[in-house]
Amino acid sequence: MSTLRVDRVSVTLLERTVVRDVSLSVPAGSWVTLVGPNGAGKSTLLRAIAGTVEHSGRVEIDGTAPAGLRSRGRARLVAVVPQEPTRPDGMTVLDYVLLGRTPYVPYLGTESAEDLAVAGELLDTLELRDIATRAVTSLSGGEFQRAVLARALAQQAPVLLLDEPTSSLDLGHAQQVLELVDRLRADRGLTVVSALHDLTTAGQFADHLMLLVDGEVAAQGPAAEVLTEKLISTHYGARVRVLTDQDGGVVVVPLRTRGCAPADATPLPLDVRRG
């Protein structure tokens, strides 16, 4: 289990500051989610944590800065599930998962028995065994997302970064993927940082939320402190009702603005309006 520390990190891209002076401490084995409007800097901050974009400030995982490592070293420390992963033509699910073992395979070498065992365990854990020989280009969205997660977990890195991991999934598959991540986090002691658009999903799964707006921290803390009607109205321009479910999770419900129908709109039949 590893602790992640982000200290006064800023990122400038094309002469524009995209992330400004962000600090964050993620205890080992916990889950932090970044939320915020489009363009808030969530994905860029994840890239800074992964050490793949130049930044000022300091990012450390148990005292080691990913940015100071070569790609193989970074891959042993941080695993990333990107927002739009590519599907290599002609590659099977098994071979795709084995890509996660690349940091452990010698140059010009081949996968060892241990590499194959790690991949095989993940195929079973993520219920991919039956489709291991299928091409990744033939998979459904939910199947491919599980393969992407398996590839990341095959790196056996202590920190897992998820950039909108459910953006292409329907509600059922999205819930399955996040519950799987939560279970693996508990079983393997993973430290998870994710970026999510859906505020209810963020409020249900994360231990701690950070609200980013224009690259700066607008609020952070437990879901109940960050996902408030006032903050959401201020930074998203949305009317919502924030509820708490029976398990203590936060639920964000959009509220429709009434009285916007055209004056000449034809009323629905009575039975339809009641249905």
- For 32-71, write each residue's pLDDT tens digit: 999 999 999 999 999 999 999 999 999 999 889 998 889 9
Number of domains into which the chain is organized = 1
Q: Which residues contact 256 (CB under 8 A, 6 or more apart)?
A: none
- Please answer whether residues 203 and 32 qualify as being in contact, where contact means their C-beta atoms are separated by less than 8 angstroms: no
Q: Per residue in 148-172, pLDDT tens?
A: 999 999 999 999 999 998 877 788 8
Q: Per residue in 93-124, pLDDT tens?
A: 999 999 999 999 887 778 899 999 999 999 99
CA distances from 132 to 97, 105, 122, 138, 146 (A): 9, 21, 11, 12, 12
Q: Is 260 within a domain?
A: no
Mean pLDDT over 227-245 rounds to 92
- Name the 3-class secondary structure at 13: strand
The first and second tokens of residue 89, run together, are: 């033509």
Q: Is 237 within a domain?
A: no
Which residues, listed in sequence order, are joined to residue 135 by a DSSP beta bridge? 92
Q: Is 66 within a domain?
A: yes
Q: Is 98 within a domain?
A: yes
For residue 85, with 0-12 CB atoms within 10 Å meaning exposed, 13-18 middle and 19 or more buried, which class applies? buried
Q: Is 137 within a domain?
A: yes
Domain that holds residue 86: 4-220
The answer, yes or no, to whether residue 184 has pLDDT greater than 90, is no
* pLDDT value at residue 263: 54
- Predicted TM-score of the model (pTM): 0.88
Q: Is 254 within a domain?
A: no
Residue scoring higher pLDDT (142 or 18)? 18
Q: Is 261 within a domain?
A: no
State the average pLDDT for the chain.
Answer: 89
* CA pair distance 149, 143, nearest whole angstrom: 10
> Nearest to residue 50, comparing CAs of 19, 18, 15, 75?
75
The first and second tokens of residue 204, run together, are: 């249900």
The answer, yes or no, to whether residue 259 has pLDDT greater than 70, is no
* CA pair distance 219, 186, nearest whole angstrom: 26
- Please answer whether residues 214 and 40 qualify as being in contact, where contact means their C-beta atoms are separated by less than 8 angstroms: yes
Alpha helices in 154-249 (DSSP H): 171-188, 199-205, 223-226, 229-236
Q: Is 270 within a domain?
A: no
Structure-token match 């598959």, residue found:
173
* pLDDT value at residue 244: 86
Q: What's the CATH code of the domain at 58?
A: 3.40.50.300
